Structure 1
Amino acid sequence: MTSNAPRPEAPRIAVFAKAPRAGAVKTRLVPLLGAQGAASLHAALVRHALSTATRAQPDSLQLWCAPDTADPFFSECAARFSCELRMQRGHDLGARMAHAFAAQAPLLLIGTDCPPLRASHLSHAWRLLVSHDVAIAPAEDGGYVMIGLARPAPALFERIEWGTDTVLAETRRRIAAAGLKSIELETLWDVDRPEDYRRLQQTGLAREVEA
């Protein structure tokens, strides 16, 4: 249930992350980096996303964990970034996202694949939720890297083909059908494929991610 408490001035941020287990994360980068290398990159990206969220000086920071909160990596993150650990719940990504928003909206939700996402993006999106129902940061691959909701809107997450280039377009249709007022932020890129990893190296963001 959502709270009737006053909306905090600082953002509430949820970071969705999988445990960095070799062979289970960043699988499209395994041919380039190996299973352990891909898992290490994933762990670095999770830490970078949490660092970015921390710099937005959030009212609350939650790390939503998959498959559960038991992995020692998550405990390390909680200690380092002062975030609350929660377990993702639902049969697919959409159900898990809807559950997070039902637990506490207004809320900004991000993944861990987008090093270009800055604290300024998060702070700006939070301010926009004063006058908009939805704030979304598109991804170049047809998805999105951040979504913020002023209140729960489960229809935005149902029957979506996650991981495809249709996610953003379908989400836009759902927003329109629900009569929600939305705004889109800057389009950013994420790290999923070998060409994304090379871009990460070329832009210099790799040093920031690995710090």
Structure 2
Amino acid sequence: MCADVSLAVLAKAPLPGQAKTRLIPTLGAEGAARLHERLLRRTLEIARATTPQVTLWTALQHHHPLFLELADTYRIELRPQPHGDLGQRMLHALAAMPCPGLVIGTDCPVLTPTLLRRCHAALNDADVVCLPAEDGGYGLIAMHRAEARLFSGIDWGTERVMPQTAHAAAELGLRLCCLTTVWDVDRPEDLARLATHSPGLLANLGVPTTHGR
């Protein structure tokens, strides 16, 4: 195993109307895009505090000024996400890694460098490591090598993602380790928890800290 963690971050450009679309009814298109940008910045801070080997896989607008700024600030590599569903894009990122690595998005505010390193270390005893999400998906996947069959036949964006992934791993004879359950910021009801956990991310977005579920 490589001494350093290889880490891929998948992110859309913060284009109003195309980023965090499920939050638009609450935040508006501009507000949802601004929150997405803040979550992306925070994710990259965590990523670079974990390892120097970070690749930002971009979508929607690969040369967006924010991506160029972040690449310069954090000294990270930019690569365009390929066409295809989420599984195909994660598979592509894993296949591009020179050694075992981790893939994350930008929606999980509870990731920390310590947790990311624990996931990497867990690969010593497992073939696949996941952080299941409360909504049924997962906030991180780590693997020794890209395995296409683990990403096919998955109902992405549904509560079936993690159960289907666990079933696929078992069928393939892969040792799966799930360290802890995390939560994402995807829906309006997630904003209340975010306001408690990281209120600065919602500053000036028109969401009061007492926003209810």
Q: TM-score, normalised by structure 2?
A: 0.91
| Partner AA of 2:30 in structure 1 | Q
Q: Are residue 112 (structure 1) and residue 106 (structure 2) matched?
A: yes
Contact 1:26 1:39 in 2 (8 A): yes
Matched residue pairs, number? 202
Cα deviation for residue 154 of structure 1 reads 1.1
Contact 2:132 2:182 in 1 (8 A): yes
Q: Distance in 1 between matches of 2:49 and 2:20?
A: 25
Q: Are residue 77 (structure 1) and residue 76 (structure 2) matched?
A: no
| Partner AA of 1:72 in structure 2 | P
- Runs of 4+ with deviation above 6 angstroms: none
| Aligned counterparts, 1:1-211, within 5 A | 7-56=1-50, 58-104=51-97, 105-203=99-197, 205-207=198-200
Contact 1:15 1:112 in 2 (8 A): yes
Gaps of at least 5 residues in structure 1 are: 1-6
| Partner AA of 2:91 in structure 1 | A
| Partner AA of 1:93 in structure 2 | L
Q: Distance in 2 between matches of 1:208 and 1:194?
A: 14
Cα deviation for residue 209 of structure 1 reads 7.8
Contact 1:98 1:154 in 2 (8 A): yes
Matched residue of 1:189: which SS?
coil
Gaps of at least 5 residues in structure 2 are: 204-213
Contact 1:30 1:38 in 2 (8 A): yes
RMSD: 1.4
Q: Distance in 2 between matches of 1:83 and 1:34?
A: 31
Q: Distance in 2 between matches of 1:175 and 1:141?
A: 20
Matched residue of 2:189: which SS?
helix
Matched residue of 1:162: which SS?
coil
Per-residue CA deviations over 1:54-83 (Å, capped at 9, x if unaligned) read: 111x14100000135211111011111111
Cα deviation for residue 109 of structure 1 reads 0.3
Q: TM-score, normalised by structure 1?
A: 0.92
Cα deviation for residue 142 of structure 1 reads 0.2
Give identity over the alignment, percent.
44
Matched residue of 1:122: which SS?
helix
